Amino acid sequence: MSELGHIWMELPPLPYYLMIGLSTYLPGEMHPSRRNLGVFDLLWVTKGTLYMGEDDKEWEVAEGQTLLLLPDRYHYPVKGCDTETVFFWIHFDFHGVWQQTTDGDLGTVYSQQVRKSWENPYRIRIPQYSAPPEFALAERHLRKLLSDSVHHRSETYWSEQQLFMELLRLLDAGQSRNDASPALLLADKVEAYLRQHYQSDVTNSSLAEEFHFHPNYIVRCMKEIYNCTPMAYLHDYRIEQAKLLLIKTEWSIARIAEHIGFLNAPYFSNCFKAAAGISPLRFRKQYSA
């Protein structure tokens, strides 16, 4: 069996469902060889074992397991099936940034970003080869997708996309956090706390009291996962909230500054200009009728 790895996708955009199929191979039959398919091919084996290779990697994909074949690689059968083998396949597209990593790369590639008003960036982590614990639920979604595929697209478009995203959720190794490092777990908690209390006077010392860790350790975890200190994250998040208030309210600059936790308006304006490149008033005027 090849080394375990993951496919990371930076969102937005979201992966886009294209089609589904159900294949049955008799003993001796095998998956066709293909090169540079151009789309992701997600296999879900419900019976038997599929012997697949991709470039220099090989897998035995047994009942209850999945394999994600990449769009720019060479896929080939390692050997024919030993017994009758049944599997669903899903083709999906993704026009965003993605990369392939091994388990040892987790700390270097996980890094998230400040939640931004216009982007709200996020990363999902899909195991290339896995045995999802909720495979039975996934199989029900797969059968529903297959039954919908014979209907007119306008009738099933939204349900197809929703079912596909639910399948990705079941695979997303990031959302389960079962294998998360202590740094990742703590950084996620600190990030959520900063978003909830950004209007308050949050300091490294207050974070240490809240989470019962030394301030230096909290800073180190945040820098590892979010590439910034807690105070830098807090500062950037406050600026993002200011952008929303400038567009969605008629509040004065002073009121916005106070609302998001800045001590005075001039300091806020200087910080905003440094981050956005223009003053708060000019930013607001860009979106004024």
For 116-162, what is each residue's pLDDT tens digit?
A: 777 777 888 899 999 999 999 999 999 999 999 988 888 899 999 99
* Strands of 5-11's sheet in order across: 98-102, 5-11, 122-127
Per-residue tokens: 277? 């490149």
DSSP 255: H
What's the angle, vertex CA 98, arms to CA 88 and CA 164, rounded to 5? 35
| Predicted model pTM | 0.79
Residue type, 104: G
Residue 45 near residue 65 (C-beta atoms within 8 A): yes
**Whole-number mean pLDDT of the chain?**
91
Question: Which residues, in sequence order, are CB contacts of 18 under 8 Å at separation 6+?
Answer: 39, 90, 91, 92, 93
Phi-psi region of 63 (alpha: psi -120 to 50; beta: other; left: phi over 0): beta
Supply the Cα-derived Rg of the chain in whole angstroms.
24
Residue type, 22: L
Contacts 24+ apart (CB under 8 A), 108-111: 109/8, 110/174, 110/184, 110/225, 111/224, 111/225, 111/226, 111/227
Backbone angles phi, psi at 29, to 5 degrees: -80, 160
For 34-77, what is each residue's pLDDT tens digit?
A: 999 999 999 999 999 999 999 999 999 999 999 999 999 999 99
